[in-house]
Amino acid sequence: MRLVAAALAALALGTAACGPSDSEVVTVLAASSAGPLLEGRMSEDSRPIAVSLGGSQQLAAAVRSETPAGLGLDLLVLADQTLAAQLQDEFPELGAPIPWITTTLSVVAAADTDLPRDLGALLGHQEVTWVIASEGVPLGAATRAALGADFTRIEPLVVSLEDSAGSVLAKVASGEVDVAVVYSANAAGAIQRGELQVLHAFGPEHAVVVVLQPVTREGRELADVLLADVAAIRRAGFEPVA
């Protein structure tokens, strides 16, 4: 996981001398699930974009601690619509949450695993180790909702609870655990490279929506670009929110 205390502290210190109105850099705090899309935009956009990634709850805590102005924040990107609405109530300078992209959930494992590609059969394997997101983060809440009553069957097998979608994916991609519940879009690249495989895909009723919250004019301009680039959204494995 990239971000959190150190990166946010650096942002806060950097903006003490110059805020976004005094700098050409567009400062973005974003849920790690949106990282691939934003990093792609960093290489394509003519404006310098500084992106710090983390779990939505971590980002919200940073905004509450430092305030959007204190962080020099131009655009906030969260994978939690309820949390985004709460933050707007607390900080009116945050724009209304704009639905941007959506993705479903998948159970993934290493490409060479011999585990069954069937959720019911997989749940019967008591020696399998799992990594999931913590309950307080959007992926964790979605994981528990998707598994329903079956969550109690994997709970004793969970060896790691992570604070962001990116760190969940990293654990299974590195081989530290056997199985992970991830955002389907985040795993798309590793699947295409033959590193991971999908053992089970959950339906669209468990999809998660990522929202944009512009703070400044520069943030709104970047949000407009992100919303319009449907081709990039689909290349990254997401779907645009209609």
Q: Are residues 95 and 19 in the same domain?
A: yes
Q: Are residues 152 and 228 in the same domain?
A: no
State the pairing for strand pair 98-103/239-240: antiparallel
> pLDDT for 64-97, tens place per residue?
999 999 999 999 999 999 999 999 999 999 999 9
User: In this structure, what are the phi and psi dihedrals at residue 19, rounded to the nearest 5 degrees?
Assistant: -85, 180
> pLDDT for 21-80, tens place per residue?
445 899 999 999 998 888 877 767 667 899 999 989 999 999 999 999 999 999 999 999
By three-state DSSP, how is residue 95 classified? coil
Q: Are residues 40 and 84 in the same domain?
A: yes
CA distances from 33 to 23, 42, 46, 147, 182 (A): 27, 16, 23, 20, 9
- Asked if 90 contacts 66 with a C-beta cutoff of 8 angstroms, the reply is no
Q: Are residues 129 and 156 in the same domain?
A: yes
Q: Are residues 127 and 43 in the same domain?
A: no
Domain coverage including residue 64:
5-102+209-240
Q: Are residues 192 and 222 in the same domain?
A: no
pLDDT beyond 80 at 15: no
Q: Are residues 146 and 157 in the same domain?
A: yes
Show the tokens assigned to 11: 């942002």
Reported as type and span, the H/E element at residue 29 is: strand 26-31
Q: Are residues 171 and 224 in the same domain?
A: no
- Asked if 212 contacts 165 with a C-beta cutoff of 8 angstroms, the reply is no
Q: Domain tally for the chain?
A: 2
119/117 Cα distance (integer angstroms): 7
18/185 Cα distance (integer angstroms): 36
For the chain, the first-to-last Cα distance in angstroms comes to 30
Q: Are residues 145 and 121 in the same domain?
A: yes
Q: Are residues 93 and 168 in the same domain?
A: no
Q: What is the CATH number of the domain that holds 230?
A: 3.40.190.10
91/72 Cα distance (integer angstroms): 14
Q: Are residues 98 and 213 in the same domain?
A: yes
Q: Are residues 159 and 175 in the same domain?
A: yes
Over residues 220-234, the mean pLDDT reads 94
Query: Which of 109, 105, 101, 103 has its CA nearest to residue 191?
Result: 109
pLDDT beyond 70 at 12: no
